[in-house]
Structure 1
Amino acid sequence: MNRSELELYTTKELLPFDNGIPIIQVGNFEDRDSLFKSRAKFDTINNQIIYAGAFQSNFRDLEKVPILNDSDILGFDFESNELLVSSASIHKLNGLDIHGLWKKQFVLTANKEKILSGYLCDSMGACLVNDNYIYTFQSRRVMSNDTVRLRVDSVSTQDYRKDYSKNSKFFNAFKER
């Protein structure tokens, strides 16, 4: 099996997410500012607000150049759910404008095929995401071997620890690293 070429792209603009109904359609809901109403949705099954959910994307939705290329992405630790990236690539993540409530969306590809998508978050407390996320605030913590470990997870799981090894495309892409 050949080693997969991994790339991390950001979307050109914030794409709408699929799940839930717009907040403005929910009756008896406390008033929020217009930005909140325009972006958040409501999950009528679980009776909760969805701030940033799963989204559909294709290559025309992505920036032309990946934010991280194959040489930047060193591996994935499936026990700790951490993406291993080179410390030399951290300035690319730190240069992104991902502050505020609505984060930057990412798509991770293996050989140009999407294997994971979600949101880049700059701080733990401000990450209102109902999908996969990568915490970039850890990018300032360089490990001794010039590798940086970025937390990857999803709040869609009951225990807040998603088992990414169950995603066969994702697992196989990192198996050779």
Structure 2
Amino acid sequence: MTNSDLPKIEIYLPKERIKTKDGVEITREWNFIESTRTDSSMIHSNKLLREFARLDTVTDNYIYAGSYNADEDDLDINPFIYENEIISFDFETSELEISASGAEKLWNLQEDFIYSRQFIITADRKPILTGYFYGILSSSYVNHFYIFYENGGFGEKKPVFENEKLRIEYNSKSMKGFFKTDKEKYDFKTIAEFYNAFKLSGRIAE
């Protein structure tokens, strides 16, 4: 197999946020945060929730950052993290290693993580894993795959960037499950397209 035949692994941001497939459509009038309606950040949060949230009929709570599917039409024109910035994935630690230039892009995007930012990992522009970038100030928990980003903060001096390892975690349950410190490790080898892309491209960490 020549280099041109190897799977081209990249990370894209979707052109627009994709609504979760979890729960059901919210059909009744829903007032998310009435008491903080005058706070500009809460107004923006309410707007996002009204547009993208769905209803968990078991808990009667909203689902904002739940599981979602993506296809090629959802991808932005250019990758966020290019193929040459993806170094490896460690199936034992669930860590994705990216280059220094990729790490700098992530650092520059962190203000978007307040409301969680969706990402799509692809092989030859075919989605093989979807998830969320999530930061310490993010306002909703994630019921899906996510990367918790905690390097740097608002107003901090831009650092000298090096290769960076990002742990991809998974929460399928609830807010309680999301904030547990002893999360069960997800076996990414069970996602055949994801595993095969890293194996065939020689990007499985040793």
- TM-score by length of structure 2 reads 0.69
Of 12, 16, 34, the match for 1:13: 16
Q: What SS class does the counterpart of residue 20 from structure 1 fall into?
A: coil
In structure 1, distance between residues paired with 2:120 and 2:95 = 16
In structure 1, distance between residues paired with 2:93 and 2:160 = 16
Higher helix share: 2
- Tell me if the contact between 1:11 and 1:104 (Cα under 8 Å) persists in the aligned partners: no
1:16-165 equivalent positions in 2, closer than 5 A: 16-23=19-26, 25=28, 32-33=33-34, 34-35=46-47, 36-44=49-57, 49-96=62-109, 97-101=111-115, 103-123=116-136, 126=139, 128-138=141-151, 146-156=162-172, 159-165=183-189
1:30 positional shift: 8.5
Over the matched positions of the two proteins, sequence identity in percent amounts to 30
The Cα offsets for residues 4-39 of structure 1, whole Å up to 9 and x where unpaired, read as 21110001221111111245649xx99534434543
The verdict on how the C-alpha distance between 1:113 and 1:32 changes in structure 2, with shifts beyond 3 A counting, is same
What stretches of structure 1 move > 6 A for 4+ residues in a row? Answer: 139-143
User: Larger deviation: 16-25 or 70-79?
Assistant: 16-25
- Tell me if the contact between 2:114 and 2:138 (Cα under 8 Å) persists in the aligned partners: no
Who wins on radius of gyration, i.e. which is larger? 2
RMSD over aligned Cα atoms: 3.0
1:40 positional shift: 2.9
The verdict on how the C-alpha distance between 1:92 and 1:55 changes in structure 2, with shifts beyond 3 A counting, is same
1:122 positional shift: 2.5
The Cα offsets for residues 45-80 of structure 1, whole Å up to 9 and x where unpaired, read as 576642211223222322111010111000111111
- Tell me if the contact between 1:105 and 1:119 (Cα under 8 Å) persists in the aligned partners: yes
Of 156, 161, 169, the match for 2:193: 169
- Structure 2's unaligned 5+ residue stretches are 35-45, 153-157, 178-182
- Tell me if the contact between 1:133 and 1:152 (Cα under 8 Å) persists in the aligned partners: yes
The Cα offsets for residues 155-174 of structure 1, whole Å up to 9 and x where unpaired, read as 11674422111101111111
- Structure 1's unaligned 5+ residue stretches are none
- Tell me if the contact between 2:19 and 2:53 (Cα under 8 Å) persists in the aligned partners: no
